[in-house]
Amino acid sequence: CKSKPCKSKISMKDYDVASNIATKSSSTSKFLGEDDDRSGSTFVREILSALEGHDAVTKYLWAKQNMEKSIWAKLIKGTEPPTRCYVDYEKHLDRLCSTIRKLYDNDDAIAKAEVKFVTCRQGNSECLARYVKRLESIVTELHFMGIRTYEYILKRRLYDGLNSDYLREKVDKELSDPNVSYE
């Protein structure tokens, strides 16, 4: 924050606690940048939701822990490290998130997400709720990248991706819109 004296200074104890929380709350997989299946927006959403309720210090340190070192170096290149100030960490976290979106929400990420959406099918042993959740997460990813998915397209993808005719019939009865044909 560069103000003298800093009004939002982070104590060593608070920093150590944030560091421990960030280290112990690891992601399922490290973010690999261009080689990752997730878009930048999806990873930003993961940063913000993984430690919901925690401060920017913890989230910033978590992001650092859950990224490939070369990707981290690329993202923070040319920036000064944050000072021991809550306000400064908030600014750095915002800058980090916007840089991730700018670099990794590109045409390739959009194309990957669109292919995932178009090819999304219910697995053999997958329950309906899990399939719907997976489909919703893909649509949410597209939304965060600025791609609009209309409700009738989502319904059609849900309908086409179902495993059994019985489920298709149930979904058709529950979600059907007389103005939208699935044929």
pLDDT in tens, the chain (183 residues): 666 777 788 899 999 999 999 999 877 789 999 888 888 988 999 999 988 889 999 999 999 999 999 999 999 999 998 988 899 999 999 999 999 999 998 888 889 889 999 999 998 888 888 988 999 989 988 988 888 888 888 888 887 888 777 777 776 666 666 665 555
Spell out the CATH class of 107-175: mainly alpha
CA distance 9 to 7: 6
Tokens of 112: 């990957």
Identity at 165, one-letter amino acid code? D
Query: Which ranges in the chain are annotated with CATH 1.10.1200?
Result: 107-175
Rounded alpha-carbon distances, angstroms, from residue 181 to 128, 132, 147, 168? 22, 20, 23, 13
Specify the pTM. 0.74
